[in-house]
Amino acid sequence: MNLTYHRYGKAKVRVLKKLQRDSLHTIKELDVQVLLAGDFESSYSAGDNRLVVATDTMKNTVNLLAFEKLQEETERFVLDLAQHFLDKYPHVTEVTIETSERVWQRLKADGKPSPTNFLAPQKYTPICEVHASRADTRLISGAQDLVILKSAGSGFADFHQDEFTTLPETQDRILATRMASKWTFAIAPADYNRTNEDILDAMLECFVANDSPSVQKTMYDMGLAALNRCPEISDVNLVMPNLHCLLIDLKPFGRTNPNTLFVPTDAPHGLIEATIEREPRR
């Protein structure tokens, strides 16, 4: 028998760092996952642990490097963290780091932002991944749990129909989704945080500006908008599950419901995904 695939690591390593510039504080909070692949087969097949880097060691490494290196840009930290594992352990061939972030925003007092008091409204969750080997490093940033809704200018019609079809066509429906998106950096930007904000702004501006004949067309247009806005990225992946808003039938109560009152539901839901890639230069 052959062991065809293996990797292992530490998940849910949580760190919160207070970044201080004079009296102005910034809070950086990450949930970190580390996965290692390499010459660990004997630990599976023979119970030989001599090359196994303990997952507790991985946790300690995350903590120490966060203390030394974590600043405002998550991407620079995960690149340093992945490189550390490759440099430290010659039998490690591939490192995968994934992070999600809780965003803290400043509270205000007397109309002025506080230097030391914060709120976590969490409009969405920033995420970051690095896949590093001795031959290549791929850096991905993104966002998940971004809930957006279009209450007009959305329809779904002219779709394939057969004996299993019961969904009526419509030119007036609510489009709501909990979007997740990732983008791959081809070159490093001057500022990862600002570039990530620009990418999200481009996609959301596209969502607002264009009518939607389908989720598929909307996500394609949003991906194009991100690629056009930011030349540093090579591709954009979007996942947009439907958050269905189902019209409530008020006829039993003698009322007409003209697309006004709905019950929101997320199960079962449509699940649409696409990756839009920049055309290679000739």
CATH of the domain at 262: 3.10.270.10
The answer to whether position 1 is within a domain reads no
The answer to whether position 2 is within a domain reads no
Same domain, residue pair 54 and 121: yes
Query: Of the residues 90, 115, 135, which one is the last residue of a structural domain?
Result: 135
| Residue from 26, 55, 57, 93 carrying the catalytic annotation | 55
| Residue from 28, 59, 182, 244 carrying the catalytic annotation | 244
Above 80 in pLDDT, residue 235? yes
Rounded Cα–Cα distance for residues 244 and 179 (Å): 13
Same domain, residue pair 113 and 149: no
User: Annotated catalytic, 12?
Assistant: no
pLDDT mean over 121-143: 96
Strand arrangement, sheet containing 8-21:
8-21, 24-38, 92-102, 125-133, 137-150, 175-185, 233-241, 271-277
Same domain, residue pair 207 and 250: yes
Rounded Cα–Cα distance for residues 242 and 169 (Å): 16
Rounded Cα–Cα distance for residues 34 and 167 (Å): 44
The predicted-structure confidence for 165-223, as pLDDT tens digits, reads as follows 999 999 999 999 999 999 999 999 999 999 999 999 999 999 999 999 999 999 999 99
Confidence of residue 96 (pLDDT cuts 50, 70, 90): very high
Burial of 139 per CB tally in 10 Å (0-12, 13-18, 19+): buried
Please name the amino acid found at residue 188.
A
DSSP-derived pairing of the beta strands 233-241 and 271-277: antiparallel
The answer to whether position 94 is within a domain reads yes
Same domain, residue pair 76 and 149: no
Rounded Cα–Cα distance for residues 151 and 34 (Å): 41
Confidence of residue 280 (pLDDT cuts 50, 70, 90): confident
* Closest listed residue to residue 156, CA positions, set 252, 231, 224, 244: 244
Query: Of the residues 109, 135, 161, which one is the last residue of a structural domain?
Result: 135
User: Annotated catalytic, 59?
Assistant: no
Confidence of residue 121 (pLDDT cuts 50, 70, 90): confident
Same domain, residue pair 153 and 202: yes
* Closest listed residue to residue 218, CA positions, set 227, 228, 208: 208
For 263: left if phi > 0, alpha if psi spans -120 to 50, otherwise beta; the answer is beta
Share of residues in the chain with pLDDT > 70 (%): 99
Query: Of the residues 135, 170, 191, which one is the last residue of a structural domain?
Result: 135
DSSP H helical segments within 212-267, as ranges?
215-229
pLDDT at 53: 96
Same domain, residue pair 150 and 116: no
The answer to whether position 115 is within a domain reads yes
The answer to whether position 17 is within a domain reads yes
Given a contact cutoff of 8 angstroms between Cβ atoms, the answer to whether 115 and 23 are in contact is yes
Given a contact cutoff of 8 angstroms between Cβ atoms, the answer to whether 220 and 274 are in contact is yes
Same domain, residue pair 61 and 83: yes
Is-above-0.85 flag for pTM? yes
The answer to whether position 140 is within a domain reads no
Same domain, residue pair 98 and 50: yes
Burial of 181 per CB tally in 10 Å (0-12, 13-18, 19+): buried
Rounded Cα–Cα distance for residues 183 and 234 (Å): 7
User: Annotated catalytic, 244?
Assistant: yes
The answer to whether position 282 is within a domain reads no
Same domain, residue pair 99 and 214: no
Same domain, residue pair 198 and 233: yes
Two structure tokens written together for 145: 């749990």
Same domain, residue pair 128 and 162: no
The answer to whether position 22 is within a domain reads yes
The predicted-structure confidence for 2-40, as pLDDT tens digits, reads as follows 889 999 999 999 999 999 988 899 999 999 999 999 999
Given a contact cutoff of 8 angstroms between Cβ atoms, the answer to whether 87 and 73 are in contact is no
Average pLDDT for the chain: 95
Domain extent for 250? 145-277
Above 70 in pLDDT, residue 281? no
Same domain, residue pair 272 and 152: yes
Above 80 in pLDDT, residue 282? no
How many domains does the structure of the chain reveal? 2
Rounded Cα–Cα distance for residues 200 and 204 (Å): 6
| Residue from 10, 28, 59, 182 carrying the catalytic annotation | 10
